[in-house]
Amino acid sequence: MITVSGLTKDYGGRRVVDEVSFELEPGTVTGFLGPNGAGKSTTMRMVTGLVPASSGTALVAGRPYTSLPNPGAVMGTLLDAAAVHPGRTGRTHLRLLASTIGVPAPRVDEVLEMVDLTAAGGRRIGGYSLGMRQRLGIAAALLADPPVLMFDEPANGLDPEGIRWMRDLLRGHAARGGTVLLSSHLLGEVEHTVDRLLVIGSGRIVADGPIHELLAGDGTAVRPADAASFEPALRAAGLEVQHRDGGVLVVPGASPDRIGALAAAGGHALVDLRPSEQGLEELFFQLTDAS
């Protein structure tokens, strides 16, 4: 649904997005991660045509976003929730947008309901909290029920209940065959929401793949009933052992099958045995420090 090829942006001789390429498929939520200033917003703005690319292309449903007959019906965006007229009510703002993109007026009340702003719909946007503005921006993106959603930091200003609501919204959209790209600096939130990760560091893509593959380690995490007797058995087999919280031992470079066989051979009871995973935070720093 979104095909980005060699997208590059130079500002005054400084390259802030460097040959970025990726493809987003229907039915997936992709998380776009990177440190401050890595180029996430600029990339998303180039996809919408808000910022012209220095080189490269971005296609949405096969065409540049701005040349689609009705762009808002193909991709809903949340790029800058502050960019709305503060003197208008939320409902008027959405009605104006709806008429621009050819959406029937009753849909406005539907999306207000979806984002839990029905009661606040008649109030001026100037009096909205940051979280309410985010919800209004999301309502605007959902107006035409577009197959693609592209949200820059959608969790900004949302409380924990709002963050969970957002996760359900995005997962639900993907489950119905939609395509979602979201940027976020909340790693915990991303870890629980996305299927796939796109990590950018200093303008370049440094990782792109299914989240479970990127987080998978090359070893085993095992919780023996009696670590004091199992650890020497592992070491005797020539394996390295690292300690984690909760009595978990991580054995780099050994498969769960091998660890299970060792436990069985020595008569050691195991409480848990699984491939080891690194945390998203660890992966993030590893990738972005290197860039």
Task: List residues binding ligand ATP (CB under 6 A).
Answer: 11, 16, 34, 36-42, 185
Distances (CA, A) of 125 to 120, 140, 141, 159: 9, 13, 16, 19
The sign of the dihedral angle between the CA atoms of 66, 29, 131, 41 is: negative
b (16+ CB within 10 A) / e for 99-120 = eeeebeeebbeebbeebebeeb
Q: Which two tokens stand for residue 215?
A: 């987080």
In the bound state with ligand ATP, the residue whose beta carbon lies nearer, of 41 and 276, is: 41
Q: Give the shortest CB-41-to-ligand ATP separation in angstroms.
A: 3
In the bound state with ligand ATP, the residue whose beta carbon lies nearer, of 90 and 203, is: 203
In the bound state with ligand ATP, the residue whose beta carbon lies nearer, of 58 and 111, is: 58
Q: Give the shortest CB-11-to-ligand ATP separation in angstroms.
A: 4
In the bound state with ligand ATP, the residue whose beta carbon lies nearer, of 152 and 231, is: 152
Q: Give the shortest CB-39-to-ligand ATP separation in angstroms.
A: 4
CA distance 71 to 79: 15
Q: Give the shortest CB-188-to-ligand ATP separation in angstroms.
A: 16
In the bound state with ligand ATP, the residue whose beta carbon lies nearer, of 41 and 134, is: 41
In the bound state with ligand ATP, the residue whose beta carbon lies nearer, of 80 and 110, is: 80
In 3D space, the residue among 111, 150, 115, 121 whose CA is nearest the CA of residue 134 turns out to be 115
Q: Give the shortest CB-218-to-ligand ATP separation in angstroms.
A: 30
Q: Give the shortest CB-160-to-ligand ATP separation in angstroms.
A: 21
106-114 helix and 90-100 helix, angle to the nearest 10 degrees: 130
Checking 15-21 for CB contacts under 8 A at 24+ apart, the result is: 15/203, 16/42, 16/203, 17/42, 17/43, 17/46, 17/203, 18/202, 18/203, 18/204, 19/56, 19/204, 20/56, 20/200, 20/203, 20/204, 20/205, 21/56, 21/205
In the bound state with ligand ATP, the residue whose beta carbon lies nearer, of 17 and 112, is: 17
CA distance 128 to 38: 30
The answer to whether residues 230 and 263 touch, using CB atoms and an 8 Å cutoff, is: yes
